[in-house]
């Protein structure tokens, strides 16, 4: 039998973060997405700072393009992300709303955007990265007072999203969830609080921006602990750093490629061990080593994805596939 692609073999969605311009400008990019993946996420175009261009205007151009691309190609699109401290538009931050006005504004935004994509975007990261490393709330002066009552601001964000599209699956998303026990405990506590107060949460995403040096036993222990919430589990932004020491003289050779492949295999194997009803998707944060956020956010010599810069399958691709 011919080798299966990721989406053919997986019994859950295989997602990729994409940018509209890469889909439009590069046939190889588009073809790779179509060949290997069954879901897309906008890498940045559906974040608040991209959509909410002014107090009176939304820009849905790229989001609509991506939603149509998904529909036309029988894929799903995962919405990322409604509320993220790092993506409030500048005009919004400059307005210096007090807590009450702040929440009223965010409620309108969530209602409008989820309503706009109702039936098209089947799942949303409602809230991204509430907790700092170790599990303390981020120091958000406006938001934190709103977190103190039983449901809290973030819980109400889930309710606003649910009201706008009752069928959408709603996720909390964060990074280092499976390796940071303090952060994970804070997330589990929030989930318990949500459930006790009727907040509609369907799943938790761990971004999975890890490296070949990330301790596997730690990952596994944390993953099992996260799964004990019983929620859907999304590996939401998977990429595996190889140049973990940020070395300028780093060479991505066969041995390094093999190490990376093993890490990918470990992760997909771990995901497969979830109960079937908790599987949602594994999404890679990008498609090809040609375009990865890590070359600007980490090191210019970084090769974190499944396809190389020429769109050939790397050993990582096979490792990912072997774990499925």
Smallest separation, CB 293 to ligand XIL (Å): 3
Give the separation between CA 219 and CA 232, rounded to whole angstroms. Answer: 17
Tokens of 258: 């093999």
Quick check: 212 and 259 in contact, CB under 8 A? yes
Tokens of 18: 């994409």
Residues linked to residue 80 through DSSP beta bridges, in sequence order? 125
Active site residue 8: no
Binding marks (x or -) toward ligand XIL, 24..53, rule CB under 6 A?
Answer: -------------------xx---------
Return the residues of window 290-319 that contact ligand XIL according to CB under 6 A: 293
Quick check: 157 and 112 in contact, CB under 8 A? no
Binding marks (x or -) toward ligand XIL, 68..107, rule CB under 6 A?
Answer: ----------------------------------------
142: Cβ–Cβ under 8 A, 6 or more apart, which residues? 97, 98, 99, 102
Active-site hit among 45, 76, 129, 237: 237
When the beta carbons of 250 and 293 are compared against ligand XIL, the nearer one is: 293
Quick check: 89 and 52 in contact, CB under 8 A? yes
When the beta carbons of 49 and 257 are compared against ligand XIL, the nearer one is: 49
Return the residues of window 255-294 that contact ligand XIL according to CB under 6 A: 293
Sign of the C-alpha dihedral computed for residues 127, 129, 131 and 135 taken in this order = positive
Give the separation between CA 81 and CA 268, rounded to whole angstroms. Answer: 24
Binding marks (x or -) toward ligand XIL, 124..153, rule CB under 6 A?
Answer: ----x-------------------------
Examine residue 207 and tell whether it contacts ligand XIL (CB under 6 A): yes
- Tell me the catalytic residues: 237
Give residues in contact with ligand XIL (CB under 6 A).
43-44, 128, 207, 237, 293
């Amino acid at each position: 039998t011919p080798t299966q692609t990721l989406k053919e073999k997986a019994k859950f969605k295989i997602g990729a973060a994409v940018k509209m311009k890469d889909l439009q400008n590069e046939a190889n990019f588009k073809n790779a997405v179509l060949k290997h993946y069954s879901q897309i996420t906008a890498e940045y175009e559906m974040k608040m700072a991209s959509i909410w261009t002014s107090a009176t205007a939304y820009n849905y151009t790229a989001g609509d393009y991506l939603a149509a691309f998904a529909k036309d190609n029988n894929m799903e699109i995962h919405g990322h992300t409604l509320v993220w401290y790092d993506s409030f538009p500048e005009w919004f931050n400059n307005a210096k709303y007090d807590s009450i006005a702040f929440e009223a504004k965010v409620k309108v935004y969530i209602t409008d955007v989820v309503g706009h994509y109702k039936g098209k975007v089947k799942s949303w990261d409602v809230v991204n990265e509430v907790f700092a490393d170790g599990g303390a709330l981020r120091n958000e002066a406006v938001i934190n007072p709103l977190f103190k009552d039983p449901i809290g601001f973030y819980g109400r964000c889930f309710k606003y999203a649910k009201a706008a599209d009752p069928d959408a699956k709603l996720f909390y998303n964060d990074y280092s969830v499976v390796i940071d026990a303090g952060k994970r405990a804070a997330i589990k506590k929030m989930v318990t609080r949500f459930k006790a107060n009727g907040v509609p949460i369907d799943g938790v995403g761990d971004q999975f921006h890890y490296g070949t040096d990330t301790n596997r036993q730690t990952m596994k222990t944390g993953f099992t602990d996260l799964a004990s919430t019983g929620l859907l589990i999304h590996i939401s932004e998977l990429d595996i750093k190889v140049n973990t020491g940020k070395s300028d003289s780093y060479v991505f050779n066969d041995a390094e490629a093999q190490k990376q492949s093993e890490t990918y295999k470990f992760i997909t194997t771990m995901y497969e061990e979830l109960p079937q009803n908790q599987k949602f998707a594994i999404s890679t944060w990008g498609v090809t080593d040609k375009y990865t956020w890590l070359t600007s956010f980490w090191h210019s010599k970084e090769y974190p994805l499944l396809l190389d810069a020429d769109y050939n399958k790397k050993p990582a691709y096979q490792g990912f596939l072997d774990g499925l």
